[in-house]
Amino acid sequence: MGTEDLVSKGYDIPPEIQGQVTVTTLDKIYNWSRERSIWPMMFGLACCAIEMIAAAASRYDIARMGMEVMRPSPRQSDLMIVSGTVTKKMIPQIVRLYNQMPEPKYVLAMGACASGGGPFKEGYTVVSGVDKFVPVDVYIPGCPPTPQALMHGFMTLMKKIEGQSIKDVSWYQKAPSTPLPIPVLGPDLMNPDQYAKIYAATHPAASEADQSESEEVQA
């Protein structure tokens, strides 16, 4: 709210500082400063990363959005741009990097591969979408998405940040956030969240025994 509005509402603002006073909410100023200084993590996974690099160069120039400070450390990053094919070998490292980022943090799935596996969806080495392991805030379609599409993704993320309130975001509560379970690459990729299911599938006899034991205890 500007000075004129404030004066018309009856606020007593001395004439010498009129034009320099404005009133806003804490959320608005906090989100405004956060969304204009997002620091992306500097890493790329495949061909989409070339388009990400192009977005940072002079023609598209993400410095206009305060995003040119790509950080080589997850501990200084606000945004993970998953730019490329996510392999089963790489996903444990991606989740580990995500866990090392401080809150508030955001994830942008850039391109068909990161969003759903892309042309390699059926490949035995590929994760069909990074959102199976980390929460994704914005998806960008395309193979590869152009730098303009990436910029549009950034603007979509900014809009999302604008709509957040420190009253209800999970990262502003008293309890610490829980780290995501790191997938394990063995003969195939295993998600620690699904260990019980995997155990039941690979040890049918043992799980039947466990089940009958628990039924006996209940009886």
- What tokens appear for 206 in the block? 């043992």
Q: Among the residues of 167-203, which ranges form H helices?
A: 195-202
Query: Residues 117, 129: contact at Cβ < 8 Å?
Result: yes
* Spatial distance between the Cα atoms of 131 and 137, rounded to a whole number of angstroms: 9
Q: Contact between 143 and ligand SF4 (CB under 6 A)? A: yes
* Spatial distance between the Cα atoms of 39 and 62, rounded to a whole number of angstroms: 11
**Minimum CB–partner distance for residue 107 and ligand SF4 (Å):** 16
Q: Contact between 48 and ligand SF4 (CB under 6 A)? A: yes
Q: Contact between 85 and ligand SF4 (CB under 6 A)? A: yes
Q: Contact between 47 and ligand SF4 (CB under 6 A)? A: yes
Q: Contact between 113 and ligand SF4 (CB under 6 A)? A: yes
**Minimum CB–partner distance for residue 28 and ligand SF4 (Å):** 36
Tell the burial category of 187 from Cβ atoms under 10 Å away from its Cβ (0-12, 13-18, 19+).
exposed
Q: Contact between 111 and ligand SF4 (CB under 6 A)? A: yes
- Backbone region of residue 23 per phi and psi (left: phi > 0; alpha: psi in -120 to 50; beta: other values): beta
Nearer to ligand SF4, 84 or 153 (CB): 84
Nearer to ligand SF4, 102 or 119 (CB): 119
Q: Contact between 153 and ligand SF4 (CB under 6 A)? A: no
**Minimum CB–partner distance for residue 114 and ligand SF4 (Å):** 7
**Minimum CB–partner distance for residue 110 and ligand SF4 (Å):** 7
- What tokens appear for 212 in the block? 């009958």
Stretch 5-44: interaction string toward ligand SF4, x if CB under 6 A: ----------------------------------------
Could you list the beta-strand ranges (E) of 37-147: 79-83, 106-110, 138-140
Among 41, 46, 65, 70, the residue binding ligand SF4 under the rule CB under 6 A is 46
Contacts of 2 (CB under 8 A, 6+ apart): 22
The single-letter code of the amino acid at 64 is R
Footprint of ligand SF4 (CB under 6 A): 46-48, 84-85, 111-113, 118-119, 143-144
